[in-house]
Structures are given as C-alpha cells and as structure tokens.
Structure 1
Amino acid sequence: MTEARTFKYRTNLARKMSAPGGRSVADAVARADTGLEQHRAAAMAALVDRVAALEAACAAQGPGSERGVYDQAAALLDMAGFFDTGPLYAAAFSLCELSDRMIETGAWTWPSVAVHVRALRLILADDCRETEQAALILEGLSTILRRF
C-alpha cells in the first residue's frame, strides 16, 4: 500500500498578501470614502425621487399600494445607508417599521404614512443635518411608531 502524501499549495492570492508594500487600511478606507463621495450628488437626487414616489403613493392612496410604500421606503433606506444622512436614515427606518407593522396588523392608516413622508421631505430640504428640528421630527415619528 502506498503512503498518502499531502501537498501544501501556496495560492497566488497568498503570495500577493504576504508581499511587502501595498496600501494601509487607513489609506484604503480614505480612498473608498473619496470614491463614494463622488456619487453623493446622484444618490441624493435618487433619494429625492424616492420621496416623490412616496408622496405620489400617499396622494393616490390606491388599494393594494401599501406594499409599494414599504418597498419604496426600504429602497430609500438602502440608499440612505451608504451616506451620512443621519436623521433621514432614521426617518426612513421608522417608515419601514410603521408600514411593516400596519401591513401585519391590517390597520393601515394613510395619515401616519403621510406624516412620515412629509418628515422625509423636511429632512431632505435641510440637507440631512442633525439639527434640533430634525430631532423633534424624529421624536414625533417615534411617537407614531409606538402607537402601532
């Protein structure tokens, strides 16, 4: 019977990882942040479009459009998460939670959704800054969310 032998292969990736030089973690993070910032204007425009779509859904209040509100809010939340949007992210998260709870319970109320959408518009108009007004808006949204 022949004896089993094991071979240890060193992959190309392993060789490159152990080679001296390259970028530091801090440099890589800085470059990634710079690359991400180049897309900020386009992302903010897309966020404005999402809020406009939510406003249209609130105006239409069509039957069966509840799921669309959740989907739009979730897409807004996804985009807001890539950038420092502070209160906008929190407001979008609140709208996702609210719409999810209302769908689960079957107790959909458009005024609660409309308040969230108006809050999103106000926060966007204020450039997503952490202001006293934004804190008050988020406090009001959390009050609505606690009701459900």
Structure 2
Amino acid sequence: MIAITLLLSLVVPSLAEDTPETLVERWYKALMTADRAEFANLLTDDATIVLEDQEVELNKSEFLASLAEWENAVKNTTVKHRLEGTENGRMTMLVCYAFPENTTYSREIFSFRDGKISASAQGAIGETCEGF
C-alpha cells in the first residue's frame, strides 16, 4: 500500500502538467523569453498558429522560426493574460501586450490534443487594455 501511494504521488503531479490551464501558463511564460525548446514541447507536430491581424497561418516549424523576430519585439514588454472562458475543449484568453511603443488587447483561443496545444488563434480586440 505504501509503495502504491508513493508511486501515485510521483505520477499524479506529472499528469497535472498536461492540463489545458498548465499548457497555457507554460505558453505565456515561453512567450516572454521566446523559448523555442518549450514551444517545441508544447505544440503538437501538426499545430497551427493563426495571427488574424496579419492574416497569417503558421505551422509548427514556421512558428518556431518566427520566434527570432519575436525575441526582439518582446524585450521590455509586459504581457498580462486572464481566462475569458472554456467551451468545447477550447480555452479563450484575454491578453494585454504592453510594448514599449504601443499596447494591444487581444483574444487568443487555444485548442488541445494529446496533452499539447494543437492550435492557437489570436486577434486584436483593442488598442488599449483599459480595465484589464
């Protein structure tokens, strides 16, 4: 009985890491440092990233390659996020990007499969984060 309890205590925390909430938290943490290795682990091999404002859809490898440019953009930037809701296995976040030169308020929708992020779609909903 003690061995089973010990084994479960080692297994259960690792399962909790794969919840959508945890995946999204890891996403935003990786976003702040353009952590390519973390994004590679977070995304399914066939993941799609849609940047609605730029009318761009990226696959996983294209997204990872784009992080070099993002790494420069994210310097001195503050990113705040909060859950707007969950529905049909998707999670919608409201996000405030406070860049040194401007601010963008966006809605980001994540889809999940097999303990990873399978899709992300983001689009601006405002130029200020008033009340965020």
TM-score norm. by structure 1 comes to: 0.26
Higher share of residues assigned helix? 1
Higher alpha-carbon Rg: 1
TM-score (normalizing by structure 2): 0.28
